Amino acid sequence: MYNVNLNSDLTMNLNTPLEAVLSTKKEYILALKEMNLRTVEDLLLYFPRTYEDLSESKTLLQVKTGEKVSMSGRLFGMKTIPTKNRKMNLIKAMFYDAYGNSCEVVWFNQPFVKRTVPMKTDVIVSGKMQFAYGKYTIQSPTVELADKKQIHTAGMVPVYPQHEVITSKWLRGKLSPLLYLSKEFEEVLPYEIVEEEGLMPKSAAIKEVHFPTNQKSLDMARDRLAYEELFLLQLSAVQRKQEWRNSRGSDSSIQEVEMDVKFVKDFFSTLPFTPTGAQKVAIFEILSDFEKPYPMIRLLEGDVGSGKTVVAVTALLNAVVHGYQAAIIAPTEVLARQHISSVTKFVEAYEEKFPLKNPINIQLLVGGLKAKDKRTVQDAINNGQVDIIIGTHALIQEAVKFPKLGLAVIDEQHRFGVKQREVLMKQGSPHILNMTATPIPRTLAMVAYGDHDLSVLNEMPPGRIPIETKVVPPEHRGQVNLFIADRIKKGQQAYVICPLIEDSESMEVKSVKAEFERLHKVFPEFKIGLMHGKLKSEEKEAVMSRFKNKEIDIMVSTSVIEVGVDVPNATVMLIEGSERFGLSQLHQFRGRVGRGDIQSYCYLCTSPDAKGSYTRLKAMVEHTDGFKLAEIDLKLRGPGEVYGVRQSGIPDLKIATLTNGVLIVRVRKAAEHMIEKKSLDKYPVLKSMLVKLKSKMDKA
């Protein structure tokens, strides 16, 4: 019935290729390979995405129109009826339930039904009830014998992620007779964890997740399989954290630094504002890490405008005043130059009030520097003459040697790989503070940054004026143009963001180059600038300088200005094709305005075919809290979109969800306990899977 090739000469196991097991057409085998399903193990680990609950068998009198149901009864009078144009044959029969009620069932162009569907015997029929032409009909029903195990028509029926060739019904038919091989899956989780957590055995969970006995059993199965996925991730993270802590050897360039309360008070006294409570807590956590005998690895995350820079500068200065070098590594030159401007202001204010014996030397090292200037800065770093160095990837090149690097601040850490961090370990295992301007839900942070300690800036400085946000359909775009003109005439500036650099035939969204040309015609009296990723470093810097100096009224840009750009006079953010961006990324764009003391505005302009996105974009109008938006984004679009990039570094999860905070906390505690007990060597299967996972994540 299920077309499984039970060849007596073949001893099937989890590694058996599917083409040797399944009796099916070649196109199906090729489709399975496209889905990365090559072995029995792959197929058994291909989990349903949802379920149709057909647990309750109904009579015809209980069925509502449009409802998909499961019913017991018998079929009679099957016949073939050609349509008028002879292009299609209908197969019709009458279905009678146990109480004698009847309705018509019909199949379209499926002649095999006459051979395969049992007549005049007890069956289970499932399908959607329709009412048309004055009678009730079930179109294309699924039929199974009542005295056999039902996998399509009763119980909780699994629905799988489908391929254009592979359907859920086909998958159910192929999976069911192979489920006995689930007993071959080795138990990865330690026995004591399975027992303490009350988890279902893995083999039982795999069988249950495909064909659940009931909702309770399904929940237990999913919990068991999700636990294993998350446990591997968390165990890997805790292991990396332990390795990082052990990385400081006798040749380390730094030692424990006792918290200097006087320095913190002195620095705070030079600030033109009072730090928030969240900033003070973060600074305390970081300086406490400086006191420990192992290097810090901490993530500082906060919403736009929450004051991450002040926290970072406090840590940088703390390292420098205690005799160490410090560095900030940024993903782009625009952001690096923004940092050097901000850091210099804070340092100069501190030195003016509290002069140091040796003035703090701050330098910039980016790829755009001339070769001669670059070598000069590199030599100064290598000789210990630079105290604070700010740059891009140019800072983690072999030519750069820090004699006494105490702290490395990595901005937008998700844009740097694990390998770059390993380079910093060779610079004397300095303290590392990773910063992100993207608010990350705690559940995601615990997985994506599981090897970090976490500091969160969830408090905004007082006095910030909320940004007014509106969704703008295409027909109202002209009104926004009038508003932008009014703002510019009042001496303010505007951003216009587009998804693409150049026009695309396949996408009806605006590009920066086309919009740049169009806006010249719309606003002939204003100065318009163009910014995108293909510009050379010096061109980007020149455009940004002109914008900051108010020589440009409207900046047309791609997402290159997503983070770090600070122009207080810019008060309007217009985002074209806004439905193409995630909520977290839209929030980052919005954060480029509202940085001064003038009311600012964000307009989310949509494409003509974007009506389905209005509900999601409405979240931007209703919420100003970046953490809340990130949670919504995580549920809607997944971890890659919360970061603002496709590659999140987190392997694809088959069944676990990163929104399940309760489970993640449970798993984290168990992983930490195992590493503390140093009992990993007792579990070779688990250790082997960890090695494979680490290899995958290193390549990400």
Please compute the mean of the pLDDT values over residues 337-356 and round it to a whole number.
Answer: 93
- Model confidence at 564, pLDDT cuts 50, 70, 90, reads low
Alpha helices, DSSP H only, in 117-201? 168-175, 191-196
Q: How does the average pLDDT of the chain come out, rounded?
A: 88
Distance CA 115, CA 581 (A): 51
Under the phi-then-psi rule, with left for phi > 0, alpha for psi from -120 to 50, and beta for the rest, what region is 558? Answer: beta
Give the model's pLDDT for residue 437: 80
For range 4-29, the mean pLDDT: 79
pLDDT on residue 646:
44
Residue 411, strand partner residues? 435
pLDDT in tens, 605-662: 988 776 667 778 999 999 988 888 888 888 887 776 676 544 456 777 889 988 888 9
| C-alpha to C-alpha distance for 139 and 129, rounded to whole angstroms | 8
Q: Among candidates 110, 112, 174, which has minimal Cα distance to 140?
A: 110
Of the ranges 301-305, 328-332, 349-353, which is most confident? 349-353
585 neighbors 559 (Cβ within 8 angstroms): yes
pLDDT at 469 over 90: yes
* DSSP-derived 3-state class of residue 152: coil
| Angle (CA) 432 435 439, round 5° | 145
Q: ∠ CA(607), CA(608), CA(612), 5° rounding?
A: 85
> Poorest-confidence range of 179-188, 432-441, 500-509?
500-509
CA-CA distance, 192 to 198, in Å (whole number)? Answer: 10
Taking the model in full, what pTM does it have?
0.81
Q: Which residue has the higher pLDDT, 421 or 394?
A: 394
Which of 183-192, 281-290, 509-518 shows the lowest per-residue confidence on average (mean pLDDT)? 509-518
Domains of the chain in sequence order: 56-153 (2.40.50.140), 185-463+678-700 (3.40.50.300), 468-623 (3.40.50.300)
Residue 413 has pLDDT above 90, yes or no: no
What is the C-alpha separation between 18 and 4, in angstroms, rounded?
Answer: 10
Q: Which residue has the higher pLDDT, 60 or 643?
A: 60
Closest by CA to 363, choosing from 349, 373, 352, is 373
Q: How confident is the model at residue 312, as a pLDDT?
A: 96
- Summarised one tens digit per residue, pLDDT across range 83-140 is 877 778 889 999 999 899 999 999 998 888 888 888 999 999 999 999 877 888 998 9
Phi, psi values for residue 415, rounded to 5°: -90, 0
pLDDT at 280: 96
pLDDT in tens, 472-516: 998 998 999 999 999 999 999 999 999 888 765 555 567 888 899
Q: Which helix (DSSP H) or strand (DSSP E) does residue 238 occupy? A: helix 215-245
Q: What would the 3-class secondary structure string for 508-520 be? A: CCCEHHHHHHHHH
The reported pLDDT for the residue numbered 216 is: 95
254 pLDDT above the threshold of 80: no
Lowest mean pLDDT among 8-12, 219-223, 354-358, 591-595: 8-12
CA gap 323, 120 in Å, rounded: 91
pLDDT at 10: 54
- Where does residue 162 fall: left (phi above 0), alpha (psi -120 to 50 degrees), or beta otherwise? beta
Task: Note whether 178 and 40 are within 8 A (CB).
Answer: yes
Predicted local confidence at residue 465, as pLDDT: 85
Q: 244-253, 343-352, 362-371, 672-681: which has the highest mean pLDDT?
A: 343-352
Mapping DSSP onto H, E and C, the string for 23-46 reads: CCCHHHHHHHHHCCCCEHHHHHCC
Closest CA to 343 of 331, 356, 357, 361: 361
101-113: b (≥16 Cβ within 10 Å) or e: bebbbbbeeeeeb
Which of 364, 387, 249 has the alpha carbon at shortest distance from 317?
387
